[in-house]
Structure 1
Amino acid sequence: MLRIAICDDERRARDMLRFSLEKILQEDKEEVVYEFSSGAVAVRWLKHHPGEIDLLFLDVEMEGISGIETARQIRIFDQKMYIVFITGFPDFVFDGYRVQALDYLLKPTDQGRLNELLQLVRNLVSKSFNEQFTFQNADGIYRLYLTDILYCYSDRRKVFVVTRNKTLSLYAKMEDVQNQLGAEFIRIHQRFLVNATAVEQINNKMVVVDGRELPLSRSLKAEASTKLAKVMLGEGIS
């Protein structure tokens, strides 16, 4: 699933780009899910919905904050979303590289160029799929990179996924989440699962992740401590 957003302060420009995209999007797999009329609105929404957008088409010349400034603010909390600038002036392109823009399109958008760029993003997203955890809750679909997840914990019927910036929840069993996340996520307690690469300290009673003390159960202590110690010493998990 490729999720796309458009940010442009001109309604006509958003409509034209969406129409061009809809000609080439793969049905039931890709869609334009959000449109923003200003950079400020885009930054505010994206900050509270991590992982919900894969590709953002961002106009450079907007009222209020510019596209470049919008991208700069987005990069403070999201380094992985693909950003493509839309502009009538190619001279800005060097500024785009400073905010890790994937590419840029000149207005009016060429359909062939748009198709090439979309295929590039498809390939990039496909390659990174195994490095991500995708799930859905009442607020939408989220795709988090495994390296961004610090730990998970369960409470009643929910599993809470904790990153440095946010905590998200889903209805699931901890065992199922553990299987999806993979070998580097270690069960340290019936209710806690940690990213071994994020662990800062282990002792007899707890595991410290990002300054937070998590309980280490007696029944899992020996196995979990051995696996975590190997990762902390750079030996990896066998």
Structure 2
Amino acid sequence: MTYFIWKRNLIEDYFKTRDLCCKVTTFESGIELTKDFREDYDVIFLDVAMEDMDGLEAARWLRDNDTKAFIVFLSGYPEYSLEGYKVEAHRFLLKNDENLEASLAECLDSAIDKMQRDEKKIELAVQGGTLSIAPSKIVYAESKVHKVIIHVLEASGKMREYYMYDRLDCVQEELAHLGFMRIHQSYLINKDYLTNVYRYKAELVQGIMLGISKKYYKDAEDYYVRKRGEF
């Protein structure tokens, strides 16, 4: 996720406490945002009071350019909230609200929940039936004793396992174009959840450590270096 935000530490704290990955980008003005705008921004926080181009003008520019990102306004003046609805703002947060952190968490909870519901789901034949799931919820797949274990991060923050009678090669074919990467004969990971690469080790969210085989190490290391450079 990428954000134009007045107070980025609150965003970073939110994702750290939920053990989720995000990417934060900050801009000094609405003009800077419009010059360097990218379509992959998911949530955009706009301060209403900015020089040259205020938050409302920036929001109108974003909608005129067909962005589907969630727009959240930050202001000290509640009277601006009506203007926010004209650009389909997701939330209007007051800077001087003593419950700002809780309001921000609710705002992001809501946005993430909607993104996950809107994300196209895939169907996997698992033990006991069919699993219909958004790929972004799958942390990694593991081959073990003639089965594939799908490790899923639930909204509660807990991990859950689903079992498939299949080969990891076949699962890789289905997930490779959805942001998954093979790091070992036994492991296929969701690249969004990769947090570090050590010598032949991959660290994922929640401190999950998986081995990287020599065959895949360079690709994994190169990807992590590129990913780290984006932050």
TM-score by length of 1: 0.47
More strand by share: 1
TM-score by length of 2: 0.48
